[in-house]
Amino acid sequence: MLARAGAGGRSWLLLALALVLAAPVLVVAGSWLAGPSPNWPHLRATVLPGYVWMSLLLALGTGLGTLVIGVGSAWAMARLRFPGHRLLEWALLLPLACPAYLIAYTWTGLLASEGALQQALSVPLPDIRGPAGAVAMFTLVLYPYVYLMARAAFIGQAALAQEVARTLGAGPWRRFFRVALPLARPAIVAGLALVLMETLADYGTVAYFGVPTLSTGIYRTWFGLGDRLAAAQLAGVLLLAMVVLLWLERHARQQRRIAGNGEPAPPRTLARGPGSLLAALLWLPILLGFILPMLQLLLWSLPRWRDLLAPDFLALLGTSLLIAGATAIAATTLGLLLIWARRLRADRPRRAAARLAGFGYAVPGTVLAVGVVMVLATVDRGLNDGLAALGLPTPGLLFSGTLFAVIFACTVRFLTIPVQGLDAGLQNLSPNLDSAARSLGARPAALLRRVHLPLLRVPLATSALLVFVDTLKELPAALVLRPFNTNTLAVRAFELASDEQLADAALPALAILLAGVAPVVLLTRSMRVPHAPSG
Amino acid sequence: MRRLGLLVALLTATLITTGCGTQTDEVNVYSARKEALIKPLLDRFSEQTGITVNLITGSADALVERLKAEGEHSPADLLITVDAGRLYRAQQEGLLATTSSDELDRQVPSALREPEGRWFGLSVRGRVIVYAPDRVDPANLSTYEALADPQWAGRICIRSSDNIYNQSLVASLIAHDGEPATRQWAEGLVANMARDPVGGDRDQIKAVAAGDCDLAVVNTYYLGMMQADQDAETRDIAHRVRVFWPNQDGRGIHINISGAGITANAPNPDNAQKLLEFLVSDESQRWYAETNHEYPVRPGVATSELLQSWGDFKQDDLPLVKLGELNADAVKVMDQAGWK
């Protein structure tokens, strides 16, 4: 009886923790309660329909683009063997290291009339700055999310399903569309949800390309119109889109069960000709999303290579890695805590806690960062006022403007990645496993340590590495919240790039890309680990 | 669980190392001026005075929000922005203190500072017209207002109305011509655009050089930076356009400032004032011209050779506070005109 009460109490503690993590978003979005802003009619009559329409268009285009590239490459990599297969396994993830705003600046430079490509080809190249170009940029850097999820699903698919379809007379295309694809759908939708959320929340790319979206609209309304209420309400619209996406994702996941049974299908080896052709095709997104931009950055930074030796460059790198590492650990640990606690006991507060934890991904980074500033400063002020009331000395700001604030913000922002990843991973483990362990006398801590953690190695590593790479690229949080005299690579690159000093921005940008490569390679290795047994 | 312990230890460590600033002779700066464009000056100040300068750079909007949230405990002494509108907003939020300094009052012309001394201009940036000399006869150019003239249909490049410099320009037009006339003007300008707004000011200059449009509205220092670029190609592009100073028979060109104000809760207001005074000193003022091709706020300071090559101009003496007051109206006017 006592133990039950304890578990219930812990449920509320978990909910409180989730509320703290969601607080920066909630303080911003909560302004809906204040009623519509007086500027709302003006917005609705002028810019709002355009924002919504453009955001939908970008989401649709990017969704389609990442599906085609992500699912196509995942299927080829999972089911076929051809020359260069091993190299492609990790190369296909490389564009993940490239922030969308950076690739947007780089491609603009590449295609500019004075740029290297134009000079080399001596044909007029299209201007990518516009909605179509934005879709292209997002697709190039975001397809790895879909690829990552879909590939794991395709590998896990049983040979039996394919065999049955074959004996029933289904050709390869039909087998792909009627068997493989539906079975992998939950995983694909999970990847797609991440893609769409990143697309909707992006600011840097669309601002540079002059594409008015909900995200740029929030900035303009808040800072140009000076109307925080209306801006927060626009952010609420984005949040709503996020809720819908999460619901879709959850819904899709509930339909998976059958996929994992039986022996995985053996991959088919392609003949040399078609195999090389396929390999070339698969290199295309890597060429466009990583290699060409990297070469352009290299070209720009060559005359400035001496900056590498500057002591402050090492400091930049160090701070970036520290923030990314701490965020990866914090987000993965908290994600595991919330998801695992819900598996132990799926009561209402614990379910709510797991659901609340993903909201940070839905709003543009600066909005979230300002939310964090407001929350942490309120806590600091409360602490100081409290201590002052007790007649004690006041410590000043303990949380605001520290690395803790930056790491907290990044954790809030990327928590959804481990939450989604570990949720999917735990669902693949049969509840019978838990019952067996418990009946053998394992307490929850032992269950976690000896059963769940080893079986969750793949999703844990994947989540942590994804958060690491994402944090490395993350800019607004570090920009607003960081302590005095502290910079990161992303801050340096963005400051220079946004002032259109692309050449000066190239070196830190290149460093972001290269620092992202190591975790991407690790990511591939972690995926090679044989899959956890399932249901 | 071990991982959790590690995390807690790590976070505590970062808290301890970064949370407590030491109380030496220092001044804390929140700057919307990018690091590369302010740090060298701050270093020079430290050298001369022995006062340590701690710096955070970021977008002005976010820094103002941070200042506001931190309230009386904020460590910031000085807020530096690159436009008057944001200083005005900080002022409206009660975040800036009044400063009385004979030195600052003497060096900074009254239109370029807040009357009570809440903020002071540090450098002047003009928003002007650049044109392609082979396709535009400068005799046909006159004022900002005339950019709405049908003769420029499909020939003008200008960046997005999200940009603060365009918002300030439109605010100045509202101040001079009134809102209805400015709305009509904005509609005319949108009709004359060669393309949907895209990119930054440098991109507009490049577009004129490349022949995508014949005119562009840009800040002067972007052109200056391009004309002085390391890269020969960029210099060449920048020399293919010419500067036109609009409204010379009237009020003069629209200007904005980079400026700074001492914060309401500054822990080191005296040092902040010393820094402000240093930033308007002869030496600093010349630095803005040489490094970022901006104009000094102080009359009589020699500018760079490059700036002199563009010739002299008359500038609007509209009090810059107006730009802040009218910013929201400007955004609405641009929304209504369909200026993306």
What string of H, E and C letters represents the secondary structure of B70-82? HHHHCCCCEEEEC
| CATH code, domain with A345 | 1.10.3720.10
Task: Enumerate the residues of chain A whose CB falls inside 8 A of the CB of residue B230.
Answer: 303, 503
pTM of the complete model: 0.86
Nearest CA among B267, B220, B257, B237 for reference residue B82: B257
Per-residue pLDDT band for A257 (boundaries 50, 70, 90) equals: low
- A102 close to A202: Cβ distance less than 8 angstroms: no
Distance, in Å, from the CA atom of A424 to the CA atom of A418, rounded to the nearest integer, reads 10
Query: Which residue of chain B is at minimal alpha-carbon distance from A394?
Result: B73
The reported pLDDT for the residue numbered B21 is 44
Per-residue pLDDT band for A114 (boundaries 50, 70, 90) equals: low
Residues A225 and A79 in one domain: yes
- A482 close to A403: Cβ distance less than 8 angstroms: yes
- B138 close to B183: Cβ distance less than 8 angstroms: no
Averaged pLDDT, B11-23? 47
Distance, in Å, from the CA atom of A93 to the CA atom of A64, rounded to the nearest integer, reads 18
The reported pLDDT for the residue numbered A72 is 95
Reading the block at residue A231, the tokens are 């801006």
The reported pLDDT for the residue numbered A64 is 97
The reported pLDDT for the residue numbered B6 is 54
Q: Name residues 7-36 of chain B within 8 A of A (Cβ).
A: 7, 10-11, 14-15, 18-21, 28, 34-36
Q: Which residue has the higher pLDDT, A109 or B148?
A: B148
Mean pLDDT check: name the lowest of A213-222, A303-312, A332-341, B282-291. Answer: A303-312
Q: What is the ipTM of this complex?
A: 0.81
Per-residue pLDDT band for A535 (boundaries 50, 70, 90) equals: very low
Q: Is A106 contained in some domain?
A: yes
Reading the block at residue B190, the tokens are 């949108």
pLDDT at B305 exceeding the cut of 80: yes
Q: Looking at the partner chain, which of A333, A407, A496 has a beta carbon nearest the beta carbon of B4?
A: A333
Last residue of a domain, one of A226, A241, A262: A262
Averaged pLDDT, A294-298? 92
Mean per-residue pLDDT of chain A:
84
pLDDT at A180 exceeding the cut of 90: no
Last residue of a domain, one of A227, A245, A262: A262
Nearest CA among A236, A201, A233, A292 for reference residue A474: A201
**For B47-66, what is each residue's pLDDT tens digit?**
999 999 999 988 888 899 88
**For A388-431, what is each residue's pLDDT tens digit?**
888 888 788 888 888 999 999 999 999 988 988 888 778 777 88
**For B249-269, what is each residue's pLDDT tens digit?**
999 999 999 999 999 999 999
| Contact state of B230 with A503 under an 8 Å Cβ cutoff | yes
Residues A251 and A320 in one domain: no
Question: What is B27-124+256-309's CATH topology?
Answer: D-Maltodextrin-Binding Protein; domain 2 (3.40.190)
Per-residue pLDDT band for A224 (boundaries 50, 70, 90) equals: confident
What is the count of residue pairs from A and B with beta carbons less than 8 Å apart? 186
The reported pLDDT for the residue numbered B256 is 94
| Contact state of B199 with A210 under an 8 Å Cβ cutoff | yes
Task: Enumerate the residues of chain A whose CB falls inside 8 A of the CB of residue B335.
Answer: 42-43, 46-47
Reading the block at residue A190, the tokens are 């999970």
Q: Residue A125 is inside which H or E element, if any? A: none
The count of domains in chain A is 2
Averaged pLDDT, B94-116? 94
Distance, in Å, from the CA atom of A389 to the CA atom of A376, rounded to the nearest integer, reads 20
| Contact state of A480 with B198 under an 8 Å Cβ cutoff | no
Optimal mutation site among B14, B231, B263, interface A, most CBs of chain A within 10 A: B14
Query: Which residue of chain B is at minimal alpha-carbon distance from A133?
Result: B198
pLDDT at A533 exceeding the cut of 50: no
* Domain residue limits, chain B: 27-124+256-309, 126-254+315-337
Residues A131 and A232 in one domain: yes
pLDDT at A530 exceeding the cut of 80: no
pLDDT at A167 exceeding the cut of 90: no
Residues A347 and A246 in one domain: no
Neighbours of A488 (CB within 10 A): 29
Residue B250 backbone phi and psi in degrees, to 5 = -125, -120
Distance, in Å, from the CA atom of B306 to the CA atom of B304, rounded to the nearest integer, reads 5
Identify the bridge partners of residue B295 per DSSP, sorted by sequence position.
B124
Q: Looking at the partner chain, which of A47, A222, A330 has a beta carbon nearest the beta carbon of B7?
A: A330
**A252 Cα distance to chain centroid:** 19
Distance, in Å, from the CA atom of A496 to the CA atom of A301, rounded to the nearest integer, reads 13
The reported pLDDT for the residue numbered B193 is 97
**Which residue's entry shows tokens 């370029």?**
B112
- A218 close to A235: Cβ distance less than 8 angstroms: yes
Mean per-residue pLDDT of chain B:
90
| Contact state of A130 with B196 under an 8 Å Cβ cutoff | yes
| Contact state of B70 with A207 under an 8 Å Cβ cutoff | no
Residues A329 and A218 in one domain: no
| Contact state of A326 with B65 under an 8 Å Cβ cutoff | no
| Contact state of B57 with A495 under an 8 Å Cβ cutoff | yes
DSSP readout, B91-149?
HHTT-B-----HHHHHHS-GGGB-TTSS-EEEEEEEEEEEE-TTT--GGG---SGGGGS
Residues A368 and A239 in one domain: no
Query: Which residue of chain B is at minimal alpha-carbon distance from A124?
Result: B210
B110-147 in b/e form (b: 16+ CB < 10 A) is ebbbbeebbbbbbbbbbbbbbbbeeebeeeebbebbbb
| Helices and strands (H, E) in chain A, number of each type | 27, 2
Distance, in Å, from the CA atom of A380 to the CA atom of A388, rounded to the nearest integer, reads 12
pLDDT at A534 exceeding the cut of 50: no
Q: Looking at the partner chain, which of A113, A377, A403 has a beta carbon nearest the beta carbon of B69?
A: A377
Identify the bridge partners of residue B127 per DSSP, sorted by sequence position.
B219, B254
pLDDT at A169 exceeding the cut of 90: no
- Give the amino acid at B35: E
Task: Enumerate the residues of chain B whose CB falls inside 8 A of the CB of residue A216.
Answer: 162
| Contact state of B66 with A114 under an 8 Å Cβ cutoff | no
Last residue of a domain, one of A205, A231, A262: A262
CA distance, residue A223 to nearest chain B CA (Å): 6
Q: Does B153 touch chain A (CB under 8 A)?
A: no
Per-residue pLDDT band for A256 (boundaries 50, 70, 90) equals: low
The reported pLDDT for the residue numbered B20 is 42
pLDDT at A475 exceeding the cut of 80: no
**For B173-224, what is each residue's pLDDT tens digit?**
999 999 999 999 999 999 999 999 988 899 999 999 989 999 999 999 999 9
Q: Which CATH number fits domain B126-254+315-337: 3.40.630.10, 3.40.190.10, 3.20.20.70, 3.40.50.300?
A: 3.40.190.10
Task: Enumerate the residues of chain B whose CB falls inside 8 A of the CB of residue A380.
Answer: 70, 73
Q: Looking at the partner chain, which of B66, B160, B167 has a beta carbon nearest the beta carbon of A373?
A: B66
pLDDT at A246 exceeding the cut of 80: no
**For A40-79, what is each residue's pLDDT tens digit?**
889 988 999 999 999 999 999 999 999 999 999 999 998 8
Residues A61 and A163 in one domain: yes
CA distance, residue A54 to nearest chain B CA (Å): 12
Q: Does B93 touch chain A (CB under 8 A)?
A: no
Q: By residue range, what is the domain housing residue A45?
A: 28-262
**For B146-181, what is each residue's pLDDT tens digit?**
999 999 999 999 999 989 999 999 999 999 999 999
Percent of chain B with pLDDT over 70: 93
| Contact state of B75 with A495 under an 8 Å Cβ cutoff | no
pLDDT at B330 exceeding the cut of 90: yes
CA distance, residue A175 to nearest chain B CA (Å): 44
- A456 close to A531: Cβ distance less than 8 angstroms: no
Reading the block at residue B184, the tokens are 């009509």
pLDDT at A35 exceeding the cut of 80: no
